[in-house]
Amino acid sequence: MSKLTRRDFLNGTLMATGASVLPFRSHGEPEPNALDPSYYPPARTGLRGSHPGSNENAHNRAWTQRSDWGPTTRLHEVYDLIVVGGGLSGLSAAYFYQQKHGRDKKVLILDNHDDFGGHARRNEHTINGQRRIGYGGSQTLVKPQAAHKIVQDLLKDIGIDIERFKTAYDRDFFKRHDLGATTYFNKQVFGQDKVVAHPYCNYPNYIEGLQGPKLSNEEAAREAPLSERGKEQLLKVLNGGLHSIKLSGQELESHIARTPYFDYLKNTLGVDDPGVLRMARHSGLDWASTGTDLMSIQAAKSCGALGFTPVAVYDADHPYIHHFPDGNAGIARALVKNMIPRVANGKNAEELVLSRFHYAELDKKSSPVRIRLNSTVVNVRHHGAHQSASEVGITYINGNKAFQVKAKAAVMACYNMMIPHIVSGLPEKQAEALKLQGKCPLQYTTVGLRNWRAFKELGIGLAMSPGNMHQAVLMDFPVSMGGYEYTRSPNDPCVLQMINCPYGNTVGAPRLEQYREARSRMLTLQFSDYEEEIRAHLGGMLPKFLFEFDRDVESISVNRWAHGYTTGGPDDSTRIGRQPFGRITIANADSAPGADAKTAMMMAHRAVHELG
């Protein structure tokens, strides 16, 4: 089997033409130098997201309670505020702090990754000399018109025009090219490679303008590569719905709220075919951050899982169109540009779409706001009793060396579950509550294709793929703005999106148990494993006379988030965990909890104002 050997994808390389290669570090090697003028992480491919080297120090602190990091260099740096975490919440916290206290206030943002933005990650692919832009995490602004005025004002201040998306998003693209919602059944699981023009679920309604199924339920069941008994059961599920439950009114509502969806499939509809159950389990994708085996009937109905009539998730007043070409990385970049003006050229967020950021500007002494990447915080401690302390000391690891800086206050905008391991002296009740805040694993893979003729031939805008690692593969959102043009013709390069919400192998196992298993499996895979999976997926799905992997795939970025969507903790643990602790407050979407960009910004605003 041929491999993508023309680039070192295992450790990642820069893709931009003429850029010098800066490979990811292996364990024990120094981090790449963000002050190098050629440093430009958006163009890196290979293993991205929480890339190799980004979490090792944090894991050592949390798992083995490591506290000895060798000699610590005490830097002569004192800040008004230090923010731990450079995602949307951390960047917003820095913005809100300066807004409240003045643009001259000194703020340092520390982040363990090689790029800012957290889950709002930008992917760039250079294909046939053309730059194609995609997103590797936080996808879109959901219903921004309904956002709190605080968020709306922030977006306006950093140059984001919400109305612009009405013309930037090409709602007719999928109709114009006759691209619809399909399902790909792979040979390994279902006995044959087959594409059926029906999604068997509601997920296509998340893609504005995507064409719906071309087959009736009867035709779709007949076309599925299942046994005759399996086809009969599939049709029964597709035609099932709540009318199969012989209850009504409040009794029905109570029943669907407390009864597991899989009990409904097995006991009410009599489903036992493994193929149908697998289709059902993967039909909700990342709706509730779990497979549908852990959903109630009500939750499964809400997300339009197998057997429930697809519903319009977004209405005419709130269309799902507020995507930058790089997803919410467009927001992160606009925030950074607002606070560090020399980092890029552009008067507003749209003009930043094609702007190359100068990462050497992020950590300049002359700038009031500084962003220090590849820096894992391992200790945050008040100088003195937290009730009366006026200063906070922060120790971080960069290049396998320990450094310490000081600030008048700190905002923890990192994963909340990590805070008890790095903030010294937290009350036990608060520490235990923070440890309960969870995140599910999630993976967004972007693939640079030299053309998409095979997708045009099969009419694939999206293919649900219940037999594969990536449960969905889709054409990227058709957005053109700021001089960037979305792919126009099937002969042109494009970015393909592939989504994996990994579940545990044991159907019905507890959520956290499935997260741990899936997270461990995700992190043990090498890039070659992902490439092999993507090769088999696309090669089995697309016609060989139009698609050849080694000829048509230019580049792959696997954005792995071992800790992806916020899922929160039980009962009142979130409120208890986010309480201020002396000169330290807590932000991040985890502290809401809610897996949403607007929520991350609101939690930043709260945390800053709790500092007084």
pLDDT digits (tens, 9 = 90+) for 41-85: 999 999 999 888 888 888 888 888 888 888 999 999 999 999 999
Q: How many CB atoms lie within 10 A of CB 248?
A: 10
d(Cα 22, Cα 34) in Å, to the nearest integer? 11
H or E element, residue 62: helix 56-64
Q: How many CB atoms lie within 10 A of CB 235?
A: 18
Angstrom distances, CA of residue 587 to CA of 115, 128, 278, 379: 19, 42, 38, 17
Count of domains for the chain: 1
Q: Residue 310's pLDDT is what?
A: 65
Burial 494-531 (b: 16+ CB within 10 A, else e): bbbbbbbbbbbeebebebeebbebbbeebeebebeebb
User: Does residue 359 fall inside a structural domain?
Assistant: yes
- Chain CA centroid to CA 26, Å: 24
User: Does residue 356 fall inside a structural domain?
Assistant: yes
Interval 85-113: pLDDT, tens: 999 999 999 999 999 999 999 999 999 99
Burial 305-343 (b: 16+ CB within 10 A, else e): bbbbebeebeeeeebbbbbbbbbbbbbbbbbbbbbbeeb
**Domain span at residue 341?**
57-119+324-437+569-610
Q: Residue 243's pLDDT is what?
A: 86
d(Cα 186, Cα 469) in Å, to the nearest integer? 11
Q: What is the Cα gyration radius of the chain?
A: 24
Q: Which strands, in side-by-side order, build the sheet including 401-407?
A: 72-79, 401-407, 392-398, 376-382
Q: Residue 6's pLDDT is what?
A: 34
CATH code (residue 402) = 3.50.50.60
| Residue ranges of the chain with per-residue pLDDT less than 70 | 1-35, 310-314
Residue with tokens 């792959």: 556
Q: Residue 11's pLDDT is what?
A: 39
User: Does residue 257 fall inside a structural domain?
Assistant: no
Residue with tokens 């139009």: 546
User: Does residue 283 fall inside a structural domain?
Assistant: no
Q: Residue 132's pLDDT is what?
A: 97
User: Does residue 375 fall inside a structural domain?
Assistant: yes
Burial class (CB in 10 A: 0-12, 13-18, 19+), 50: buried
User: Does residue 364 fall inside a structural domain?
Assistant: yes
Half-sphere exposure of 319 (CA within 13 A, CB side): 18
User: Does residue 288 fall inside a structural domain?
Assistant: no
**DSSP 3-state of 421:** helix
d(Cα 71, Cα 65) in Å, to the nearest integer? 18
Q: Residue 18's pLDDT is what?
A: 31
User: Does residue 489 fall inside a structural domain?
Assistant: no
pTM confidence score: 0.93
d(Cα 361, Cα 60) in Å, to the nearest integer? 30
